[in-house]
Amino acid sequence: MALATLRALVVACTAALVLASCSSGDESTVAGKAESTERLTIAVAYDQPGLAVRRLDGTHKGFDVDVARYVAKELGVPETGVKFVEAVPAERENLLTTGAVDLVVSSYSITDKRKEVIDFVGPYFVAGQDLLVRLTDERITGPESLNAGNLKLCSVTNTTSAQHVKDRFAQSVQLVEYPNFSDCVTALLAEQVDALTTDDVILAGYAAQNPELLRVVGQPFSKEEYGIGMRKGDSDSKAKITAAVRKMIDSGEWRKSLEANVGESGYAIPDPPQLTS
């Protein structure tokens, strides 16, 4: 091999190594993986209109989906590089600790028990538990009114929303559980149950889908702070994700997304919360 050719090859190889070292990040962190691969796997709900739904064509829509995409973009991941998987409520911590997903953005309430296992960025939204009823049903004005008659209250299996109502407000209400929120909505429309309870913003999404049939009572009786779930110990990524959420709020994109996804329900868009973690 000629000396000039050899020198050119060395220079080319050296340049390639330099470029590789400059573009590679620590893929054990969310920000590093985003930088190196321009890909992230994010868990979202599939059945929460307004927050996150998986549509028949396989696309995803909702406020949580918008938050996930905005954060990913700020970390350097294009929309095509975001892979969404389903955030089954009982599996969310496991999805993070096993590395099956990088982030969870799924009406994920920040609690001390969960913070023992994972970290949160947030709150990026504060919801309150409320009731969804048929539009023309004037009997139900709040959780206490569920004591009247033989009313049936629906919620999703492995959640505590309905039991919270029964224990605290309406001891005589009959509890009905289904696997998914959409099943409860179907039962409500069919008059098989009288109300559905969960976070008000989720209920608003269903009301927005059926504004001529359903309404949110509008008397929230709890406080649920939503956070972005991530693995513990990734402080650099946590700081970057916090900055991304703050930018979404300050830019107006946060409110714009909420108005687009739940505004038709009549849900009162709240002021954005202060990020504390």
Pick the CATH number of 27-127+224-265 from 3.30.930.10, 3.40.1280.10, 3.10.20.30, 3.40.190.10: 3.40.190.10
Q: Which of the given ranges, 63-77, 102-116, 201-215, 254-268, has the highest pLDDT on average?
A: 63-77
Q: What is d(CA 228, CA 226) in angstroms, rounded to the nearest whole number? A: 7
Domain locations in the chain as residue ranges = 27-127+224-265, 129-216
Pick the CATH number of 129-216 from 3.40.190.10, 3.30.750.24, 3.10.20.600, 3.30.1330.10: 3.40.190.10
pTM: 0.80
Dihedral sign for Cα 19, 20, 26, 31, please.
positive
Tens digit of each residue's pLDDT (9 = 90 or more) over 4-62: 444 544 444 444 444 343 444 678 999 999 999 999 999 999 988 889 999 999 999 99
- What lies within 8 Å, CB to CB, of 145 at 6+ separation is 139, 170
CA 77 to chain centre: 18
Query: Does pLDDT of 261 surpass 90?
Result: no
Tens digit of each residue's pLDDT (9 = 90 or more) over 153-211: 998 876 778 888 989 999 999 999 988 888 999 999 999 999 999 999 889 888 888 88
